[in-house]
């Protein structure tokens, strides 16, 4: 069953990127049903255009002026973008250029349309899209990737995602020379979920060089399955810069990369919940512009005090701490009390899995994840 997505229909030509399995092609079929589609995932189509790129221009000449054209998996033939540029100018065609990575496009050094096409992102489901069907326990267990959600056997699909990613993303696009080495790296990178990203330590664990790990992490980020969260730094000297934290975009993907057993381990629940909150903020940043950017916060003078997320918009900040416990504890407020003097800070929130809303004497609010997601959806996270 098709689930309507939050991503707004395009009004102008755009690149549409998102991790493999987020439902980009399905969304495009529903959103632009009359578009002319060129699907490079179909091997016959790909081979024809690979052998004779001129056929692409012939196809576009047959499309009426001003119409929409969808090119799916555009990264497979980056040089087609030169013709896209030409037909945008000559016939005023509108394009959606869809793919799971911009890495190959950047590496090929091809024409990226000189800013004539916007860049948009498709994410895993957020609670607003699933409505009453959203279940937090299931989201932490299986994730919110549409390819998993639509599967009759979610556990099997979660387990298979890592191999799908390696085969259709990494191997098919020849993104690494040493595929077995990259495959060995993935479970180690999965252990970094929600952690400070120390490339030297990760390289030591993986048995490869630091530069190799740095390149592997770039691949994960550019294929959109993971992202770095940087520390908020206001006028700090270079020597004080803090390392970024690493998050995968979906709990199910983390479990797949870790080759984890069927059940979510109790010790995984906290970091998986934190990652889900991070990804929900990230999705609403892209879909609804709920913030300009977000960070984690840690003061230079303390190695143990931290706030999980700091949303920034127009010089104002909302601090968000994530706790997976069932009962409020004053210790949860430590980081939020430390960040209180930050100029522009207008709200402090603790997000927990469930429970009634609370408010401390000094104004810290405790909200359930469902309520926090609703705040993001309605843009009421800002007071």
The pLDDT of 117-146, averaged and rounded, is 95
* Range name among 9-23, 160-174, 194-208, 299-313 with the lowest pLDDT average: 160-174
Q: Has residue 116 got a pLDDT over 70?
A: no
In this prediction the pTM is 0.93
pLDDT at 9 over 70: yes
Look at residue 239 in the predicted model and tell me its pLDDT.
45
Could you tell me if 77 and 43 are in contact, meaning their C-beta atoms sit under 8 angstroms apart? no
- Token pair 């609804």 in the structure block, residue: 288
Taking only the tens place, the pLDDT of each residue in 76-85 is 898 898 899 8
What does the pLDDT read at residue 176?
81
User: 245 CB contacts (<8 Å, ≥6 apart)?
Assistant: 194, 195, 196, 197, 228, 229, 231, 296
List, in order of start, the domains of the chain with CATH numbers: 14-121 (3.40.50.300), 127-269 (1.10.10), 276-378 (3.40.1350.10)
- Report, as an integer, the average pLDDT of 256-261: 83
Concatenated DSSP letters for 156-186? HHHHHHHHHIIIIIIITTT--S-HHHHHHHH
Is there a contact between 249 and 229 (Cβ–Cβ < 8 Å)? no
pLDDT, tens digit, for every residue of 313-328? 999 999 999 999 989 9
Lowest mean pLDDT among 70-74, 241-245, 285-289: 241-245
Strands 307-313 and 293-297: antiparallel
* Percent over 90 (pLDDT), the chain: 73
How high is the pLDDT of residue 66? Answer: 95
> What is the structure's pLDDT at 238?
43
Predicted confidence at residue 263, as pLDDT, reads 78
- Structure-derived torsion over alpha carbons of residues 39, 88, 120, 197, reported in degrees to the nearest 10: 90
Whether the per-residue pLDDT at 300 is higher than 80: the answer is no
**237: confidence class by pLDDT, cuts 50, 70, 90:** very low
Euclidean distance between CA atoms 84 and 79, whole angstroms: 9
| For residue 137, pLDDT beyond 60 | yes
Assess contact for 319 and 307: CB atoms under 8 A.
yes
pLDDT of 8 higher than 90: yes
Mean of all residue pLDDT scores within the chain:
91
Residue 350: is its pLDDT beyond 80? yes
273 pLDDT more than 50? yes
Per DSSP, what are the bridge partners of residue 38?
A: 71
């Amino acid at each position: 069953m098709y689930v309507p997505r939050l991503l707004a229909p395009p009004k102008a030509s755009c690149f549409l990127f998102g991790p493999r399995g987020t439902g980009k092609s399905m969304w495009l079929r529903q959103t632009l049903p009359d578009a002319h589609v060129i699907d490079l995932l179909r091997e016959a189509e790909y081979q024809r255009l690979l052998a004779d790129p001129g056929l692409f221009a012939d196809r576009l000449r047959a499309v009426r002026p001003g119409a929409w054209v969808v090119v799916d998996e555009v990264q497979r033939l980056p040089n087609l973008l030169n013709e896209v540029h030409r037909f945008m100018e000559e016939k005023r065609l509108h394009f959606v250029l869809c793919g799971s990575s911009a890495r190959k496009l950047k590496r090929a050094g091809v024409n990226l349309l000189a800013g004539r096409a916007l860049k948009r992102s498709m994410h895993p489901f957020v609670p607003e899209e699933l409505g009453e069907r959203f279940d937090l326990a299931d989201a932490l267990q299986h994730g919110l990737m549409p390819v998993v959600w639509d599967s009759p056997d979610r556990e099997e699909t979660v387990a298979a995602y890592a191999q799908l990613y390696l085969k259709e993303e990494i191997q098919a696009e020849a993104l690494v020379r040493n595929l077995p080495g990259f495959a060995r790296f993935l479970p180690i990178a999965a252990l970094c979920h929600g952690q400070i990203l120390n490339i030297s330590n990760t390289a030591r664990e993986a048995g490869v060089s630091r530069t190799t790990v740095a390149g592997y992490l770039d691949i994960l980020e550019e294929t959109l399955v993971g992202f770095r969260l940087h520390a908020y730094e206001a006028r700090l000297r270079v020597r004080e810069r803090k390392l970024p934290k690493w998050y995968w975009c979906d709990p199910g993907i983390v479990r797949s990369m870790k080759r984890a057993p069927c059940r979510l381990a109790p010790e995984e629940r906290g970091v998986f919940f934190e990652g889900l909150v991070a990804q929900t903020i990230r999705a609403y940043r892209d879909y609804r512009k709920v913030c300009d950017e977000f960070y984690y916060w840690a003061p230079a003078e303390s190695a143990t005090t931290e706030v999980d997320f700091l949303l920034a918009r127009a010089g104002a900040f909302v601090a968000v701490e994530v706790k997976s416990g069932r009962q409020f504890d004053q210790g949860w407020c430590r980081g939020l009390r430390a960040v209180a003097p930050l100029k522009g800070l207008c709200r402090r929130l603790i997000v927990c899995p469930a429970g009634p809303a609370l408010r401390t004497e000094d104004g810290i609010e405790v909200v359930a994840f469902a309520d926090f997601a609703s705040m993001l959806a309605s843009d009421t996270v800002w007071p």
